[in-house]
Structure 1
């Protein structure tokens, strides 16, 4: 996938950081403070600030609220918490006599319910040790200027298998709280379009009601960001089951590979210890605000990252050589300049050291990825999946049969290396992901005997095939979205040649990255497809996309629910509401108005049930072709959680097993 420029007019991460900085750096009686957090707020602060930044904001100690058992009577405390009954109980325990801290400031990541605040106030002494109480509206984690997550683990599973302990209404309310926080942070009231019939619709109904009752909040002059208030964005709410392909796909972009292969969590990557050396696990933090290489290459095709690493290393060496030459005079007459050059060299050492450290980090990460690529033959999976995606516009029984033999060969999981040894191709989940992609695209053109043949091969390889029936039932072979694609730039790989290069790099280490760099452009073809989420988004943001696919445009624009929280309900709507009509009943009729054909320049697309970096990159790339110098398109991608393919398969398997019982 290409490296199209990313628009940042939403500036969500920058704004959220500013809000939290104001709270963390509020005037205190001392130059230090203890910050008490729960699991969500700890993840939030760690994702937004480095340890050194927190120290500069007078955060001496960041500790879980439930673990703060020791009193520090001279210390000021800041509680950054989710407003839950459990956390209110902790606050009451900490703040009632004898108080554990000198005084306390309370900052809730979402609006605290009045009942909880009243219950807390009733237990506090007079005078109260609480000096302030704020609602931060930060019930989300912004990972980039155009990417955020609600940090809801196993959200797809929880939505599918709600229980009395975790009722569906609580899960939906949590999602609404997160999206509402994003909108307050951006100071925008969007026009909402929602996929009908499932969780996205339920979220839209609740969010519409919350926005209608909170419009005065968006008119407050104290809101931190009003840059987009004059131009209302689209909020597109989609359900995860709109598309599983993006969740299964073996990708080739740097950021998505790091997430999928190395299980990047928020910004942290953990590299396992090397078997060839006596090393321990290493943690790296990849933050685009602090890492220019990551910022420039995260969305690049992985082979071109090799070129960037080699270039960065060459520039570093050239800089070092230049400094050495300046610091070493050629003649005695130049000795007078030596002191100045040495001083300059010494002053540049910290910056050079930082550059070298950054190069080493990405060299180590890239090498770990190359080991994964070679060990699991990921290039082979990517190449075959790309060919299958290319057939989506012309799905047929003939095409299904053409891919049957290469599918069976790859699913059997054995290949012969250049050394003549037999080696497995991919993990069990790699093979399951490939088959589920093939099955989703061609399933309606496969006979029962074909499916059974594939099942037998997978069973023999120890692959759990219980998901096949679930995928068939849930997806329903959605050819309207799955097989209507747009062609984008970048991505597909010449697998045979790339496999040789990757093996060479793994065997020789990062010094042969240059070999990959020299051939990368030859291996990357100009073909890639957008996935259903990006396809759907294009229908709301591009007249050209609508013209290319009128059937899909009509289905999406006329079929998706429309909610406008700023539009006052009519008398008929109020009467119908009193007669137990829901907001969705009312707003379905609004979709017949001209509003449903509006073309948006700014959009927030939110996937209920989880997403990943493949889909995020795809959404950003799909709109780059519709932006120009006079009409830019700005997109913000959000989801309940960012999942790896392994994590998503685990949730699907749990659901499928429950369905079978």
Structure 2
């Protein structure tokens, strides 16, 4: 199970089925993102695709009848209408049409009626309707999926389509389990089962294992997306934001034109693929080694004294140039991360976040929060997230001082959009809504494990926290996951250990959870886990998720330059 491989297979097939010759790729906004995650522009050019167009663009190239057109769009009503119009007045010679998901027969009929000039050669369903971020991680690009703590109908429909596409592309017909405490999880599970029944011919696979689709709700673990992160990929997303593998560095002082936007993709950047899970200390050392290796090679290239040297230089120059770009990019990114960590005292903030999420020492933690709220170097968003963590942890504590901390935030001049989040997060995910006690998970069965961890020594005080997802998946792998808490849909119970698990988080997942799944896959070689979510959160997007879910309106948050 590998979502990147699944999508690349479809995109490769699309570009090759039309045969040799110059091609244009006609996409919509979503499929443009899907393709750009899987393939670099240079890789697509090798497939003889020389022009990229958007079907919804107001201005398009004039008729280019010598080009073959590969259409790759989502099967929405808007896209079908735009494509019908395209076929009535074709700009290109012939059309090969690929829908990213199941298309209604009525829509196929509309297209056939519009193809008066008979330019369409083929129409296919290629199930590439999700963002493949890494081999075990996918997202749907939905930034705030609920309204008033229930599904936004548009986002529910999109989520059903996205998960259906994942199942079809991986050729899995799963048992469905869902979080019993979540109405949203139950509703999504039922909608997916409807599709599995209605489209049973499409799901007619031979299966060697019995896969499980496990549907969870972000509201059961609001802690994970509130924490600052210290592994490379997660840290970049938290402090700089990764958007479809791209990072905007245009705000960095003195940045060169080439580095204003950089691409961080494990598929196209070997250094990133090998180091995205390293912690901040390790990545600094690895960058130093990369620099030293580059400097050694640069010195070698300075000695071009003979014909043989020149030939060697010409042969190795593309690799040298690529390495130069890799060094520049990662030195810039890590340098900016380092600057932000020092500028905003993030080590102090993170240490206290970890204490709030892993330990219960009310009075000591309250005093530490108050000290940090008085520290002018602490960003407003970090002050806010500390109070959010405190409120989630101690809302039932008899001596809690949520009101006092809120007053401190207001005196500090923290904008109202942040201070409101304290009450919003309690409404979104207070004690009454969670089926797990996040702050007292060392029940009798867990005590030994906790003590053992303490005796072994925590590797890093900044990474003590373990997402709730880990416990849930470990129990599932060991066949100990409660069928009361996570029931099967339709009273179907699997009788043996699962080998393929697709877990989906309504309300968004995180890179910390992606790392956890990566580690679980390594620790359990007989089991393959894929993680998906409506989006991939940092604090900014999670704040929007909470705000939207509890009030129905989503302001835009900024994590930098508060």
CA distance in structure 2 between the partners assigned to 1:94 and 1:20 by the alignment? 22
What TM-score, normalized to structure 1? 0.75
Q: Which sections of structure 2, spanning at least 5 residues, go unmatched?
A: 555-562
Q: Is the 8 A contact 2:98 2:124 kept in 1?
A: yes
Larger-Rg structure: 1
Q: Does 2:36 correspond to 1:51?
A: no
1:605-624 equivalence runs, <5 A: 605-621=503-519, 624=522
Q: Does 2:162 correspond to 1:264?
A: no
Q: Which sections of structure 1, spanning at least 5 residues, go unmatched?
A: 1-9, 163-167, 221-225, 329-337, 415-423, 493-520, 547-552, 564-586
Deviation by residue 1:521-552 (Cα, 9 ceiling, x = unmatched): 99945962321122212210136xx5xxxxxx
CA apart distance, 1:429: 1.4
Give the structure 2 partner of residue 155 of structure 1: 144
1:51-70 equivalence runs, <5 A: 51-67=41-57, 68=60, 70=62
Give the structure 2 partner of residue 204 of structure 1: 189
Q: 1:186 aligns with which of 149, 170, 174?
A: 170
Q: CA 1:598 to 1:532, structure 2 compared with 1: closer, same or farther past 3 Å?
A: farther
Q: 2:85 aligns with which of 66, 90, 93?
A: 93
1:9-20 equivalence runs, <5 A: 10-20=1-11
Give the structure 1 partner of residue 423 of structure 2: 469
Q: Is the 8 A contact 2:246 2:261 kept in 1?
A: yes
CA distance in structure 1 between the partners assigned to 2:46 and 2:335 by the alignment? 34
Q: CA 1:159 to 1:60, structure 2 compared with 1: closer, same or farther past 3 Å?
A: farther
Judge which range, 278-287 or 308-317, deviates more.
278-287
Deviation by residue 1:138-191 (Cα, 9 ceiling, x = unmatched): 111111111111122x233458476xxxxx444322211111111111111122
May I ask how many residue pairs the two structures share in their alignment? 536
CA distance in structure 2 between the partners assigned to 1:612 and 1:261 by the alignment? 14
Q: 1:536 aligns with which of 453, 465, 472?
A: 472
SS at match of 2:322: helix
CA apart distance, 1:342: 4.6
CA distance in structure 2 between the partners assigned to 1:601 and 1:47 by the alignment? 27
Q: Does 2:462 correspond to 1:561?
A: no
CA apart distance, 1:14: 1.2
Give the structure 2 partner of residue 138 of structure 1: 128
SS at match of 2:384: helix
Give the structure 2 partner of residue 509 of structure 1: none
SS at match of 1:47: helix
Give the structure 1 partner of residue 436 of structure 2: 480
Deviation by residue 1:588-627 (Cα, 9 ceiling, x = unmatched): x44xx5x3x7432331111012122122223333565x43
CA distance in structure 1 between the partners assigned to 2:477 and 2:148 by the alignment? 29
CA apart distance, 1:322: 5.5
SS at match of 1:480: coil
CA distance in structure 2 between the partners assigned to 1:158 and 1:53 by the alignment? 40
Q: CA 1:277 to 1:180, structure 2 compared with 1: closer, same or farther past 3 Å?
A: closer
Q: Is the 8 A contact 2:131 2:139 kept in 1?
A: yes
CA apart distance, 1:273: 4.3
Q: 2:219 aligns with which of 241, 248, 259?
A: 241
Deviation by residue 1:281-328 (Cα, 9 ceiling, x = unmatched): 611111112211101110110111011111112223334456667x67
Q: Does 2:68 correspond to 1:76?
A: yes
Q: CA 1:160 to 1:114, structure 2 compared with 1: closer, same or farther past 3 Å?
A: farther
Q: Does 2:209 correspond to 1:231?
A: yes
CA distance in structure 1 between the partners assigned to 2:172 and 2:200 by the alignment? 10
Give the structure 2 partner of residue 454 of structure 1: 405
Q: CA 1:63 to 1:482, structure 2 compared with 1: closer, same or farther past 3 Å?
A: same
Give the structure 1 partner of residue 320 of structure 2: 352
CA apart distance, 1:471: 2.1
CA distance in structure 2 between the partners assigned to 1:249 and 1:305 by the alignment? 20
SS at match of 1:217: coil
Deviation by residue 1:177-207 (Cα, 9 ceiling, x = unmatched): 1111111111111222111232111111111
Q: CA 1:73 to 1:350, structure 2 compared with 1: closer, same or farther past 3 Å?
A: closer
SS at match of 1:131: strand
Q: Is the 8 A contact 2:148 2:550 kept in 1?
A: no
Q: Is the 8 A contact 2:95 2:121 kept in 1?
A: yes
Deviation by residue 1:227-271 (Cα, 9 ceiling, x = unmatched): xx3122221101121111111111111101111111110111111
What TM-score, normalized to structure 2? 0.88
Q: Is the 8 A contact 1:611 1:642 kept in 2?
A: yes
1:330-349 equivalence runs, <5 A: 339-349=307-317
